[in-house]
Amino acid sequence: MNKVTGIPDSTGEARSARWGVTAAEQELSESRATVPGMTLAVEAERLVKQYRGRAGTVDAVRGVDLRVRAGEVFGFLGPNGAGKSTTIRMLTTLMSITSGTARVADIDVMADPDAARRRIGVALQEAGLDPRQTGRELLVLQARLFGSSRAQAAGRAQELLELVDLVEAADRRIKGYSGGMKRRLDLASALVHEPEVLFLDEPTTGLDPASRLTVWEELRRINARGTTIFLTTQYLEEADQLCDRLAIIDGGLIVLEGTPQQLKAELRQRRDLNADPTLDEVFLDATGRTRERLAGEVQEVSA
């Protein structure tokens, strides 16, 4: 049993040395075995993304293995340039995969990207909203694009407006929305077609503490309805509050994975601390970063 993940160890073939994966990194990867009978919402094996340019080949993601269970909120943390956004873009069909495999909602994203897109919702860092539309018009249009009738689209829009608490602002133009309202509307837009998995790339970046707390509550409500949430965030407090499990990526590789409680308990035991460490201390330990290097990358904030 792996002391960090709590998932039984398994063996597998060693990764090719061409990706620069050490024996310790391979051991961590192999520890993420699937529990028998567990339903997976996201599964990636040896996922690699390379960029080739005049300066040579850059390995942005060097062999990521992920297993996200259906119905959980999974956090994906890492410093800037670690491979977070690249990984999420590969999983959501927005970027090609150099090698490895990825399945989302039991669909191979390389073999059938169109089918995968019908099963996922995506909200990236910048909300893609038309400021000239009202919130209701945006959601109705999205539903119509997914094949709903006028009546179905209107009903789905109303349901989502209630879910994200935007009913009172529904018929106002989006250009007059606050940053928090725009983020919540973007979440609703990603849910129009009732996806099984919702991918969120830094959903609360730039929001004030009150708006951040509101988005947290919306995410809990969305997850309570059965939607799996795959979340990247810069805020460690956010990951601690929302995530059932999380993984830390650094240098294109997963360096740590488990529940927030497991990861803090493991560090406390290993360092013989008198109290549980914070998640930012876990992050610092996992990535070998100092507090000075941490500034401007991943932050701990209290809301």
pLDDT digits (tens, 9 = 90+) for 188-236: 999 999 999 999 988 888 788 888 888 899 899 899 999 999 999 888 9
Structure confidence at residue 241 (pLDDT): 93
**Domain residue limits, the chain:** 38-294
Q: What is the pLDDT of residue 80?
A: 87
pLDDT band with cut points at 50, 70 and 90 for residue 114: very high
State the CATH architecture for 38-294: 3-Layer(aba) Sandwich (3.40)
Averaged pLDDT of the chain: 84
What's the average model confidence in pLDDT over 70-77? Answer: 97
- How many alpha carbons lie under 13 Å from residue 260 in its C-beta half-sphere? 19
Assign 289 a pLDDT band (cuts: 50, 70, 90): confident
Per-residue pLDDT, averaged over 255-284, amounts to: 95
Q: What are the two backbone dihedrals, phi and then psi, of residue 203, each rounded to the nearest 5 degrees? A: -70, -20
**pLDDT computed for residue 7 by the predictor:** 38
Structure tokens at 146: 């997914």
Distance from the first to the final alpha carbon of the chain: 36
Half-sphere exposure of 10 (CA within 13 A, CB side): 11
SS3 assignment for 13-30: CCCCHHHCCCHHHHHHHH
- The identity of residue 129, as a single letter, is L
Q: Nearest to residue 212, comparing CAs of 190, 192, 233?
A: 233
